[in-house]
């Protein structure tokens, strides 16, 4: 996958920032005010944002899955292997 300026910018977003941007795109597309080319670009950006959010959720789930309880009732964390 070739890293573009847009994909690099998206990769720096937190989950919350990406989700907010995705929600704004959806609202804009639902309004139907954009020209076709703009709508296509917005859809492509939305798809990239969606993928980024899914990746962030998978990373978070992997971290949660690594939390373990010890025999003494404490909590330990096993390093996640998400790559």
Give the pLDDT confidence of 38-48 residue by residue, as tens digits: 999 999 999 99
- State the pTM of this model: 0.74
CA-CA distances (angstroms) from residue 8 to 4, 27, 46, 52, 63?
6, 24, 14, 11, 23
Mean pLDDT for 27-35 is 94
């Amino acid at each position: 996958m070739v890293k573009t300026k847009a994909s690099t910018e998206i990769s720096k977003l937190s989950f919350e920032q990406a989700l907010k941007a995705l929600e704004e795109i959806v609202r804009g597309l639902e309004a139907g005010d954009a020209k076709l080319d703009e709508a296509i670009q917005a859809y492509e950006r939305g798809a990239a944002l969606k993928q980024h959010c899914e990746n962030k959720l998978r990373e978070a789930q992997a971290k949660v899955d690594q939390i373990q309880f010890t025999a003494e009732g404490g909590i330990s964390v096993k390093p996640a292997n998400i790559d």
